[in-house]
C-alpha cells in the first residue's frame, strides 16, 4: 500500500476506518483536540455522537457493542475527561463488553510533571481493562489500534484503553497501513477425552440443570443451546446477563437465577445431581453462600476464560471454549433423554411462586395505585417482547428481568457485575444508534435517572427516538428495601426528591406524560410504544414495596424467601 504523509491524529482516524468503525461516542477537550480536528475530515465516514458526560460515552459504547456485535468506541480528553470514563470502563470489564477507549494525553515531554489536566490514565485503568497502552510515537498508532481491537474482541471480550500523547497526534509522518484488516483467531482443538467425560456425566444424570450465562449470547450460541436442550430435555435457568439466551416461553426454561430470581431454579440448584454451567462465572449473586451451594452436584463448567474455573465453586469437569464451540462438539455425544419428573418439580415450585408472589404483583384489583410489576407486565404485553429493554440498577432492574417476557437474543441490557446506577439512559442511546429499526426502551428508577439525566441533551441534539420509562417511588428503592428488612426500617437517606421529569423532558424537546392511576397506565404505555420520537413516561409507583422472592445475604440458595 502506498504511504502518505499525515499527522498522527489522522492516522488514528485511518486506523479506525480500517477497523470498520462507523460510530464514536465522545466529548472533545484540549489534549484530544488534534484527533477531533482530524475527525472533522472524516465525518462523512464516521458518525460522532456528542454526549454530555464522558461516563455517558462509555455506557453508550457499551449499549452499541452489546446490541451490534461490534466493538464500541469512545473518545475523551485527558485528566477529568479520562477519569469520567472510568465507571463505564469498569462496567464493561465486569460484564465482558468489548470497548476501545481512546484518550488524549499531554505532550510526552510533560508526562510526569503534573501538567494541566495530566492524569496517569494507564495506572488508573490497569486493573479494569484487558490491556492498555500509551502511544508516544506516531509510528505506533496503526499497529497499536489494530492490536487494541483484536484484544477487545478476542476470547472473553472486554475494554481496552489507548492513551495518545498530544505530540504523537500532531507530528507528521509517512503513514502506511502495516497489517491485515482482520486477525484470524486460531482455536485449539477441544480435548476429546474431556468432551467424552462431560457427555458421559450428562447422559448419566437424573436431575441435570443448565445454568446459561452471558457467554451464550457473546458466542451467538442461542440456536446451539436450544438444540442441546431439546435433545437432552434438561431444564435451563439463566443468569441476569444470560436472559434472552433462550425464550422465556420455551418449555425447558425454568426461570432466572440469583438473589431476586425465580424460586424454582434457586431452590432446586441444591437438588440437582449434575450442573452444566455455560458462559457464567458463579458470582455471589447466583451462589449466595458458596459453602452451601450445590454441594451434592457434580459441576461442569464451560467458559472461554479459564481463570473462572474453581475460582468460586469447586468443579468436577471444566472445558475452556466458547459456548457455540462447546455445544456443537458435545451435541453428537449426548443422548436424547427425557426428564419430565424433574421438570415437574420446577413447575410445582413455579406455581407456588405464582400464587404467592407473581399474581399479587401484576394483578392488584383492589387499588388504583400502580406497582412496578404491573408496568413491566403491561409493557411486555403491548410490545409482545419485541423491544430492546435497557434496565438501570435497583428494584426496577429486578422487576424488569422478572416480568418482561424476554424473547429475542440481546434484547435485555443492564449493568450486572458493577451494578452501575445511571447505566440505562446512555446505554439505550448506544443501543438505538446501533439498531435504528428496533424499538429501544429504557426502564429507570427516579434515583438512577438523576445520575445521567444530562444525556437527554444527546437525545435532543441527535434526534434519537429512545423511549424512557421512569418508575418513580420517591425512594432509592433497593436500599430502602434492605433497610426495611435488615435494619429495622431505619430509612437512612433513601427518600429522594426529584424534578418534574415530564417538564424536564419537554425542555429538551422530548414529549412525555405522567401516570398516577392504574386506569391510565395501558393507554399511556401505548402512546409511548406508538411514538415515532423520543418519549418519556413517568409512572408514580407504590412507594414502599419489596421485590420477592429474595435470598438474604449469607443464606443458602434453597433458603430463598417468597415474602
Q: Nearest 10 degrees: CA dihedral of 101, 102, 103, 104?
A: 180
Task: Name the residue among 281, 273, 279 with its Cα closest to residue 298.
Answer: 273
Q: What is the DSSP string of 207-223?
A: SEEEEE-HHHHHTT-HH
CA dist 280 and 303 (Å) reads: 7
Whether residue 265 contacts residue 257, with contact meaning beta carbons closer than 8 Å, is answered with yes
Burial 168-207, CB ≥16 within 10 A → b, else e? bbebebebebeeeeeeeeeeeebeeebbebbbebbeebeb
Helix, strand, or coil (residue 487): coil
Active site residues: 54, 116-117, 166, 478
Residue 539 β-bridge partners: 471, 515
| Strands of the sheet with 298-303, listed across from one edge | 253-256, 236-238, 208-212, 274-278, 298-303, 317-320
* Set of cell numbers at residue 211: 445454568
Helix, strand, or coil (residue 50): strand
Look up cell 489522522; give the residue.
10
Within a 10 A sphere around the Cβ of 317, how many other Cβ atoms? 18
Residue 161 β-bridge partners: 101, 132
Enumerate the H helices of 19-79 as residue ranges: 33-40, 54-68
Task: Name the residue among 119, 118, 148 with its Cα closest to residue 133.
Answer: 148
> How far from 387 is each of 345, 411, 453, CA to CA, in Å?
32, 7, 22
Task: Name the residue among 122, 109, 59 with its Cα closest to residue 425.
Answer: 59
CA dist 545 and 217 (Å) reads: 32
Of the CA atoms within 13 Å of residue 504, those in its CB half-sphere come to: 17
Enumerate the H helices of 385-496 as residue ranges: 395-403, 424-434, 446-452, 456-462, 477-486
Residue 362 zone, left/alpha/beta (φ > 0; ψ -120 to 50; rest) = alpha
Residue 103 β-bridge partners: 76, 163
> Which residues have a Cβ under 8 Å from the Cβ of 339 and sit 6 or more positions away?
206, 207, 208, 232, 233, 234, 235
CA dist 243 and 236 (Å) reads: 11
Amino acid at each position: 500500500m502506498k504511504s502518505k504523509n499525515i499527522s498522527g491524529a489522522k492516522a488514528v482516524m485511518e486506523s479506525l476506518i480500517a477497523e470498520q468503525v462507523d460510530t464514536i461516542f465522545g466529548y472533545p477537550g484540549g489534549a484530544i483536540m488534534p484527533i477531533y480536528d482530524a475527525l472533522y475530515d472524516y465525518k462523512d465516514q464516521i458518525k460522532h455522537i456528542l454526549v454530555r458526560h464522558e461516563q455517558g460515552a462509555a455506557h453508550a459504547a457499551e449499549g452499541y457493542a452489546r446490541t451490534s456485535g461490534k466493538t464500541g468506541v469512545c473518545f475523551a480528553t485527558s485528566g477529568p475527561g479520562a477519569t469520567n470514563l472510568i465507571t463505564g470502563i469498569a462496567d464493561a470489564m465486569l460484564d465482558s463488553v468489548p470497548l476501545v477507549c481512546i484518550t488524549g494525553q499531554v505532550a510526552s515531554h510533560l508526562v510526569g510533571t503534573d501538567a494541566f489536566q495530566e492524569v496517569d490514565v494507564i495506572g488508573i485503568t490497569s486493573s479494569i481493562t484487558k490491556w492498555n497502552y500509551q502511544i508516544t510515537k506516531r509510528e505506533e498508532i496503526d499497529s497499536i489500534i489494530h492490536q487494541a481491537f483484536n484484544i477487545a474482541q478476542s476470547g472473553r471480550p472486554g475494554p481496552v484503553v489507548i492513551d495518545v500523547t498530544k505530540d504523537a497526534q500532531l507530528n507528521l509522518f509517512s503513514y502506511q497501513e502495516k497489517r491485515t484488516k482482520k486477525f484470524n483467531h486460531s482455536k485449539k482443538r477441544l480435548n476429546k477425552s474431556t468432551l467424552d467425560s462431560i457427555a458421559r456425566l450428562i447422559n448419566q444424570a437424573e436431575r441435570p440443570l443448565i445454568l446459561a450465562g452471558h457467554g451464550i449470547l457473546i458466542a451467538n450460541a442461542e440456536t446451539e443451546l436450544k438444540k442441546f436442550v431439546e435433545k437432552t430435555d434438561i431444564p435451563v435457568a439463566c443468569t441476569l446477563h444470560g436472559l434472552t439466551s433462550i425464550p422465556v416461553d420455551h418449555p425447558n426454561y425454568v426461570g432466572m437465577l440469583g438473589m431476586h430470581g425465580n424460586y424454582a431454579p434457586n431452590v432446586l440448584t441444591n437438588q440437582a445431581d449434575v450442573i452444566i454451567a455455560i458462559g457464567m462465572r458463579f458470582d455471589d449473586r447466583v451462589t449466595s453462600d458458596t459453602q452451601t451451594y450445590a454441594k451434592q452436584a457434580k459441576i461442569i463448567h464451560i467458559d472461554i476464560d479459564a481463570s473462572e474455573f474453581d475460582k468460586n465453586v469447586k468443579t468436577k469437569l471444566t472445558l475452556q471454549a466458547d459456548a457455540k464451540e462447546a455445544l456443537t462438539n458435545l451435541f453428537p455425544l449426548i443422548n436424547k433423554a427425557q426428564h419430565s419428573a424433574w421438570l415437574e418439580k420446577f413447575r410445582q415450585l413455579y406455581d407456588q411462586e405464582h400464587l404467592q408472589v407473581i399474581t399479587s404483583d401484576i394483578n392488584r384489583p383492589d387499588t388504583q395505585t400502580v406497582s412496578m410489576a404491573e408496568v413491566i407486565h403491561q409493557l411486555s404485553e403491548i410490545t409482545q417482547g419485541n423491544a430492546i429493554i435497557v434496565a438501570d440498577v435497583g428494584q426496577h432492574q429486578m422487576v424488569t428481568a422478572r416480568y418482561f417476557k424476554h424473547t429475542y437474543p440481546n434484547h435485555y441490557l443492564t449493568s450486572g457485575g458493577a451494578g452501575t446506577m445511571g447505566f440505562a439512559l446512555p446505554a439505550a442511546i448506544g443501543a438505538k444508534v446501533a439498531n435504528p429499526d428496533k424499538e429501544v426502551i429504557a426502564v429507570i428508577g427516579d434515583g438512577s435517572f438523576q445520575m445521567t439525566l444530562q444525556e437527554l441533551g444527546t437525545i435532543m441534539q441527535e434526534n434519537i427516538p429512545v423511549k424512557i420509562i421512569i418508575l418513580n417511588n420517591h425512594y432509592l428503592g433497593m436500599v430502602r428495601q434492605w433497610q426495611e428488612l435488615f435494619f429495622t426500617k431505619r430509612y437512612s437517606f433513601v427518600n429522594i426528591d426529584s424534578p418534574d421529569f415530564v417538564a424536564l423532558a419537554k425542555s429538551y424537546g422530548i414529549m412525555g406524560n405522567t401516570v398516577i392511576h392504574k386506569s391510565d397506565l395501558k393507554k399511556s404505555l401505548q402512546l409511548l410504544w406508538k411514538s415515532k420520537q423520543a418519549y418519556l413516561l413517568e409512572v408514580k409507583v407504590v412507594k414502599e414495596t419489596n421485590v420477592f422472592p429474595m435470598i438474604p445475604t449469607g443464606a443458602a440458595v434453597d433458603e430463598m424467601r417468597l415474602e
